[in-house]
Amino acid sequence: MRKQFNNIPKLVLVIALVVLSSCGSRKNIVYFQDEPITNESLSQLDNKFEIRYKPNDILTIDVSAEVAESVSAFNLPVAAYDTSGGVNTQTNILRQTYLIDPDGNIEFPVLGTIKIGGLTRVEATKMLKEKIGEYVKEFIVNIRLINFTITVLGEVNRPGAYTIQDERVSLTEALGLAGDLTIYGKRNNIFLIREVDGQKKYAKYDLTSINVVNSPVYYLSQNDVIYVEPNNTRVKTSTYNPNTGVLISAVSTLATIVAIFAFR
């Protein structure tokens, strides 16, 4: 009988080992494991990166002049609507926008179909000035991209999609928006997905090196995805059950009680 009870501590040890060994694996946790990661596919860029307009970008384009009527034909109409608030009723202006189509074109008042995809803001402004200049002499063109969004995923404190207001953001600024890496993020294995000319490109960053600021993809483009891979500690504890400790403690206590009564 005592021989059977002598096996109880061994049973507790086996149960504890089984519970603790049920960790997650990298295969089940880490994103984008089978993609070829190389900076060569983005080596044509430099770190003075300037965004180029792409299909599905949404723009506001304002043409203004000292005499507003002279350029009114080159502006989209705006919609005004009231917000009901009694004596505090306010009139809001809804500015209409341009959506770049899959071919990189927009429909512009008077000018018709113009290709703006692939151009930088400076290039697009210059092109519009040349075309509108055939009708008006003194005017200003102001272009703004209003859906510049990046997505930060993985081991950061606030993963999510972020809209950038000034059309220029670096890797470190993007990570700052996401609350920085958690202690479980791999500093030397940060993953970038970018679309260039309709094709997905991939690259890696190493934050442990100061040379990351010289990376050709240090400045981000609209719709870029940044992914911070979890380290081995996070992967191994990914399936950790908060009740594991309670379970082991309960089994151990039970075994101790049984052993006490067995040897009385």
pLDDT tens digits for range 132-150: 999 998 999 999 999 999 9
214 or 45, which is more confident: 214
> Using an 8 Å Cβ cutoff, are 227 and 193 in contact?
yes
- Is the model's pLDDT at 7 over the cut of 70? no
Name the superfamily (CATH) of residues 26-49+148-236: Outer membrane lipoprotein wza domain like (3.10.560.10)
Domain borders along the chain are: 26-49+148-236, 58-145
DSSP 3-state of 245: helix
What is the rounded (10 degree) CA torsion for 96, 100, 105, 108?
A: 10
CA distance 179 to 196: 28
3-class DSSP assignment, residue 229: strand
Give me the chain's average pLDDT, please.
79
Residue 60 above 70 pLDDT? yes
Residue whose structure tokens are 């080992």: 17
Determine the pLDDT at residue 166: 83
Residue 161's DSSP bridge partners are 151
Q: What percent of the chain has pLDDT over 70?
A: 66
Which has more pLDDT, 115 or 3?
Answer: 115
Please determine, for residue 182, whether its predicted confidence score (pLDDT) is greater than 80. Answer: yes
Domain 26-49+148-236 identical in fold to domain 58-145: no
What pLDDT sits at residue 123? 96
Highest mean pLDDT: which range of 25-29, 90-94, 205-209, 237-241? 205-209
pLDDT tens digit sequence for 62-78? 999 999 899 999 998 87
The total of other beta-carbon atoms located within 10 Å of residue 59's CB is 18
95 and 59 in contact (C-beta within 8 Å)?
no
CATH of 58-145, one of 3.30.43.10, 3.30.56.10, 2.40.30.10, 3.30.1950.10: 3.30.1950.10
> 20: which 2 tokens?
């603790």
Q: What is the mean pLDDT of residues 198-224?
A: 89
Q: What confidence tens digit (pLDDT) does each residue in 14-44 have?
A: 555 555 555 555 555 455 555 555 544 555 5
Report DSSP state, residue 181.
B
Q: What is the spatial distance between Cα 79 and Cα 135, in angstroms, rounded to a whole number?
A: 26
Task: Describe the crossing of helices 8-20 and 244-262 by its angle, rounded to 10 degrees.
Answer: 180
Q: Pairing between strand 149-154 and 160-163?
A: antiparallel
Cα 41 off chain centre by: 20
* Residue, of 170 and 89, whose pLDDT is higher: 170
- If one compares 235 and 77, the residue with the highest pLDDT of the two is 77
**How confident is the model over 97-114, as pLDDT tens digits?**
999 999 999 999 999 999
Confidence class for position 199, pLDDT limits 50, 70, 90: confident
